[in-house]
Structure 1
Amino acid sequence: MKFKIILLLVFTIHKAFAQKKEFRETEVDTLTFLNNRKLLNSLNTNAFQKKTFAENEITIPYRFLIPKNNLINQKYPLVITFHNSTRIGNDNENQLEPFAKIWLRDEIYEKFPCYVVAPQFIKRSTNYKINKDGIQVSKPSDEVFALLKLIKALKKGYPNIGKNRIYLIGYSMGGSTAQNLMNLSPDTFAAIVSVASVPDFSNLTKIKEKNIWLIHGKNDDENPYIGSVELYDKLSFNKNLIFTTFNNLNHNNIVIPFLVTDEIPKWLFGKRR
């Protein structure tokens, strides 16, 4: 297993204490790609309970992970993970892609106890179009609006969910969906990790102080890298924004560096609304 990592940090100063831009020279070889995915795929997913949420004519299958021990007098974060377009369906299985499964790793489950929700969409959760500036942007489906009601129901049903620690994470279509939710209801969420996504510019003034981590591969030929660059530029005064560029990675291997580390859980758990 081989990682070649050189970390270069570049701080962009539009104003004092402005956002941070980071470039990584990580290279992922074939063996690393296969081994990291194999590790995640070998995890037993039975701890993720199978549930379904219905709202009017919309049905959302979802999986639900409860924190270890789950002490009633202790508050736990709620992490919501979103799948990419290859996982669309209603089997309530396929949405458990790597960013959902990382929470099952023993060292993560022990060190970062939380509730995890992994919804599955029966059609695209977000749709893309080209805006007047020639940038591909994302727009949420009706299912995303229904998801806000699921989150509300979970907070009511599990009162030890920490309402100031609700986190969003997604890859590709899922990362765009996470951005859609943050724009729709910024007061609900404490932080977002959006990976290889198509941006949402619909509510920039309301997310200008939110905890946002954008991750994108420069060689992405599916969801253009320029979209994340544009979002970063439009949020130039958000001191809570990090933009990580992987100079050597593409759409298909961008998640690999995060599958066997605690970097994402550690970052999320440090954020509050």
Structure 2
Amino acid sequence: MLKAFTQKKLSNTLPFVYDYLLSLPPDYNNNNSVRWPLILFLHGAGEIGSPIDKVKTHGIPKLVQSYSTGLFDDVNQECARFVTEKFITCSPQVRRSYGWNVQVLKSLLDELEQDYRVDINRIYVTGISMGGYGAWSLAMSSPHRFAAILPVCGGGDCSLVKCLSHLPIWVFHGKLDDVVPVEESEQLVKRLEREEQGKCQLTIYPTLKHDSWTDTYNNLEIYCWLLKQTKETQK
């Protein structure tokens, strides 16, 4: 179900490209008139560098892989089915350097929109830890590209976050996180709450440390919430 690709270098200005894992819903080829929502998943620092299969360790690609193999372990089976059957998913991998390059990610999204039947009104980005920072940063650099974002135990630049006041955002963090302090998420949410039309909500797990992603991605509610968000309903 998950296939590995290398991003095309659509522009000579790109410093590099990403390898990525892609999944298409099982019914993707049944009707060529249907466009599908897309989840872009950004991994954490632990998954930097080859092989690409390291990206399957957590989050969205872990769900799709579990659906494909029928081996669920600590994966919620209903979530795995829902994500795999209702979304196109893309999970790129940082090869060497620390952090996500938003220019390269935007080019990757351009490629996906060009090559696949992506519903451009329902593109979502989520990520964990380093990928949580990446999700915030990517959204701030393209504030009107996404229908919603879902950062997990990340953080970002509070001076820039105002541009996301129109965007539905659901933030997750462990209260006891000793890698990325929970204040990193709290300060972004508080800044957005100052905006009259802010659409940001924060879930803090009182007993969790850095791994707040396992509980988050095993929650069917987040995927139902994502599907309710579309750029067409944003003000």
State TM-score, norm by structure 2: 0.82
Query: 1:62-73 maps to which residues of 2 (within 5 A)?
Result: 62-70=20-28, 71-73=31-33
Query: 1:65-144 maps to which residues of 2 (within 5 A)?
Result: 65-70=23-28, 71-100=31-60, 101-104=62-65, 105=67, 107-108=78-79, 110-112=81-83, 113-126=86-99, 141=100, 143-144=101-102
| Alignment partners' CA distance in 1, 2:200 and 2:218 | 24
Question: For structure 2, which runs of at least 5 residues remain unmatched after alignment?
Answer: 68-76
Is the Cα–Cα contact under 8 Å of residues 53 and 150 in structure 1 kept in the other structure? yes
Is the Cα–Cα contact under 8 Å of residues 68 and 110 in structure 1 kept in the other structure? no
Counterpart residue identity of residue 94, structure 2 = F
Greater share of helix residues, 1 or 2?
2
| Alignment partners' CA distance in 1, 2:143 and 2:57 | 25
Question: For structure 1, which runs of at least 5 residues remain unmatched after alignment?
Answer: 1-46, 127-140
Is the Cα–Cα contact under 8 Å of residues 36 and 88 in structure 2 kept in the other structure? yes
User: Which residue of the partner structure matches residue 52 of structure 1?
Assistant: 6
User: Which residue of the partner structure matches residue 155 of structure 2?
Assistant: 198
| Alignment partners' CA distance in 1, 2:217 and 2:164 | 27
Identity rate, percent: 26
Structure index of larger Rg:
1
Query: 1:111-260 maps to which residues of 2 (within 5 A)?
Result: 111-112=82-83, 113-126=86-99, 141=100, 143-158=101-116, 160-236=117-193, 237=195, 238-252=197-211, 254-260=212-218
- SS of the aligned residue for 2:122 comes to strand
Is the Cα–Cα contact under 8 Å of residues 217 and 245 in structure 1 kept in the other structure? yes
| Alignment partners' CA distance in 1, 2:125 and 2:161 | 17
Is the Cα–Cα contact under 8 Å of residues 158 and 187 in structure 2 kept in the other structure? no
Counterpart residue identity of residue 111, structure 2 = A
Measured after TM superposition, the shift of residue 239 of structure 1 is 3.9
The alignment covers a number of residue pairs equal to 210
Is the Cα–Cα contact under 8 Å of residues 55 and 93 in structure 2 kept in the other structure? yes
Counterpart residue identity of residue 218, structure 2 = V
| Alignment partners' CA distance in 2, 1:121 and 1:225 | 24
State TM-score, norm by structure 1: 0.72
- After superposition, the C-alpha distances for 1:16-57 in whole angstroms (9 at most, x for unaligned) are xxxxxxxxxxxxxxxxxxxxxxxxxxxxxxx11110014344
Greater share of strand residues, 1 or 2?
1
Counterpart residue identity of residue 91, structure 1 = P
